[in-house]
Amino acid sequence: MDQLIAKIGKGLKGAKDLTWDEAKFALNAIIEGQATDVQVGAFLMAMRIKTESISELAAFTTTVRKWAPPIPLPHAENIVDVPLYGEKHNTIHVVVAASLVAASAGAGLFMHGVENPDTPYDLPQVLHHLQLPIARTAAEAIEQGAQSPWVYMDLAGYHAPLTKLLDLRQAFGLQNLSHQVSRLLNPARVGSQVIGISHPPYLDKMVEALDMLGAKRALIIQGVEGFPELSLSAPSMARELRSGHISSLVFRPDDAGFRSGPFQAMSSTINGPGSGTPEHEARLITQVLVDRQKGDRRNWVIMNAALLMYAGGLASSLAQATPLAQETLDSGKAGAFFTALVQGRPPQSKFVVPPSPAVVPA
């Protein structure tokens, strides 16, 4: 470990990337507890400064995948993996509302993240206030997946060592390589992935790492606050992987038939008393899903639901998926689906196994 720390820690000019085997050795030593706490901190911060290479990302992901077996979900090849490991401060978690709309239309969605009680604006807290189910173990995720096309799993009950590295965010004040690896993890090895990132260099790094890992389909999005969400107020840069072919994409609101909306429609902090809290955000999401509230926030939900439907193979483009998302929301189907999940009933939605996806750009 000391030699590998020295290799990556010699500054911007002297640092070198690890080989495939070196990267696997280092992360395995961390996961298995063979590295000291000091070595773990030094390695993670040196890698943070150097930044991970494509090969390192793929090697790290291979290492953590071997620690825990894949979660055997039915129809896994047609489910979308949606990792949620960013931190939001200014906007609502629209991916929650969008995922419920997409799932009620027949898309299979497997989402995962971690709880962060030190963060006042945490996605699991929003799920708690919405009274949505959270799978605490792989077994619970399998059970929920047998009943519903919508599953959210807390990573802690599936991959404790990776969760421990994620928790170091509080001690370091910075994210570390585990945040990128968690995004690439794909615990159920499902057939499609939608990943949000903050920093532009990771658009190419993440999609090429997934290609090295043999992924068949993935969308990497420079999303709202690093989440897998398209912006309503600005273009969203993306990379798409399909069977070994990588494309550069730009998603704009008008691709879904909407005008660019104001940032206020996405904001969590300028919507009246109590804004910026999980309780308030849960009310905003419920208003769109159950009350079918109109306006720019509704458009933002539809746009992102269409993205997930596209990733799930229910449509060949964002434009084609948008009317389906609109009908699902306006008909009350999405609200009924959400209500059923809250009440612990099997939702009235059948998972749609799409045909072989047409090779049509978004």
Q: Pseudo-torsion of CA 143, 144, 147, 150, nearest 10°?
A: -150
Helix (H, G, I), strand (E, B) or coil at 201: helix
Higher pLDDT, 334 or 274: 334
> Burial code of 78-102, b = ≥16 C-beta within 10 A, e = fewer?
bbbbbbbbbbbeebbbbbbbbbbbb
pLDDT at 293: 82
Confidence of residue 353 (pLDDT cuts 50, 70, 90): low
Sheet holding 192-197, edge to edge: 150-154, 108-113, 79-84, 192-197, 217-222, 236-242, 245-251
Phi and psi angles of residue 63, each rounded to the nearest 5 degrees, phi first: -65, -45
Report the range of poorest mean pLDDT among 6-15, 52-61, 131-140.
6-15
Q: Taking the model in full, what pTM does it have?
A: 0.93
Rounded mean pLDDT, 222-236: 96
Q: Tell me which range, 54-68, 111-125, 286-300, is most confidently predicted by mean pLDDT.
A: 54-68
The whole-chain average pLDDT of the chain stands at 92
pLDDT at 355: 57
pLDDT at 141: 97
Q: What confidence tens digit (pLDDT) does each residue in 322-343 have? A: 999 999 999 999 999 999 999 9
Asked if residue 271 has pLDDT above 80, the reply is no
| Token pair for 23 | 């990267």
Asked if residue 165 has pLDDT above 80, the reply is yes
pLDDT at 351: 66
Side-chain-side CA neighbours of 315 within 13 Å: the count stands at 20
Asked if residue 40 has pLDDT above 60, the reply is yes
Confidence of residue 360 (pLDDT cuts 50, 70, 90): very low
Q: How far apart are CA 21 and CA 283, in angstroms?
A: 49
pLDDT at 345: 86
Q: What confidence tens digit (pLDDT) does each residue in 188-215 have? A: 999 999 999 999 999 999 999 999 999 9
Q: For the packed helices 94-104 and 333-342, what is the interaxial angle rounded to 10 degrees?
A: 110
